Amino acid sequence: MPMSRCLVAVLAVCAFVAPWTMAHAETHPGEAALVREVAADTGKDPAKLTALLDGAQKQQSILDAISRPAESKPWKDYRPIFVTPERIQDGIAFYRAHRALIDATAKKYDVAPQYLIAILGVETRYGHITGKYKVLDALVTLAFYYPPRAKFFRKELKTLLELPDSKLAGPLDTLTGSYAGAQGWGQFMPSSIKAYAVDADHDGHIDLHDSLPDILASVANYFHQHGWKPGGEVAAQAQAQPDASVLKYRAKPPRRTLEQYEALGYAPLQRMKPDTAANLLTLQSEHGPQHWFTFQNFYVITRYNRSPLYAMAVRQIADAIAHGVDDPAAVEAAP
């Protein structure tokens, strides 16, 4: 091509590209790269993806909230927030109202029904507090403006943008949830919706806000897929000898046996098989250190939320619900 014709062609391309680039300058840092990735992976329209992200707002309140999580508190301060007579009483009432569905779901996925209820109780007070933040605002804020965990939240934002309509409770720009971008009664992040959410009512749509069958089955499937052991213990109190070794909690599948712990100065307060694998968790209660053996099912709960305080709150609420569902007087929190 002659040089003059080549120059004309280049100028023509620039004339087309430059206005597009100027008109679509990034609203959020890193937005354009994310749009390119999602469009390449899914074939979705880049202009529509850009419009969605342009409409999301950075929220300072989200940045403030994530800097002070409840899980940073000691157990003596964390427990009263979640393990309350009101939450247990509400859980018992919820179980009685939906017992057939809850028991059927628990049986299908081989999990304990009281733990499905306890998760919903800790997460959202049985659907009453699901969060009022726009999910796009939350994930955009944390993906683009929160460096400590930007990698994690960018991945969640990408997953959200890639989810098919059948796995969304509504249009992307209308979804609401927690300050971290979790949705529904069970507070599922986009990656959990993608991997574990279930269309249990078979309407061709997963709704974790308004379909109780979908909500319960999704939590149950999460537990099942992470290795819940049917009939297995979750946690048991331990007694420490005065000369017991100081042991740090291991956020890993339990490997050390109770027999090995006894050699280190810790013994269960109830009769258990010596070869049972466990971790040791020490909590700071109002009356001093409190020791617990935690088992595989406890570890599964920490896959839902990594905090052992969260898992212990779920365990205590679940036990109280199981004891109280057939006993109207049993509404007090477990010790």
**DSSP run (H or E) holding 63:** helix 60-66
pTM over 0.85: yes
List the CATH code of the domain at 30-68+131-183: 1.10.8.350
Active site residue 259: no
Catalytic residue among 123, 156, 233, 286: 123
The CA-based angle 99-106-324, given to 5 degrees, is 45
Per-residue tens of pLDDT for the chain, all 335 residues: 444 454 444 444 344 333 433 456 889 999 999 999 999 999 999 999 999 999 999 999 999 999 887 777 899 999 999 999 999 999 999 999 999 999 999 999 999 999 999 999 999 999 999 999 999 999 999 999 999 999 999 999 999 999 999 999 889 999 999 999 999 999 999 999 999 999 999 999 999 999 999 999 999 999 999 999 999 999 999 999 999 999 999 999 999 999 999 999 999 999 999 999 999 999 999 889 999 999 999 999 999 999 999 999 999 999 999 999 987 665 544 44
Q: Starting at the earlier edge strand, list the strands of the sheet with 288-294.
A: 266-268, 235-240, 288-294, 279-285
Domain ranges of the chain: 30-68+131-183
CB hemisphere CA count around 327 (13 angstroms) = 11
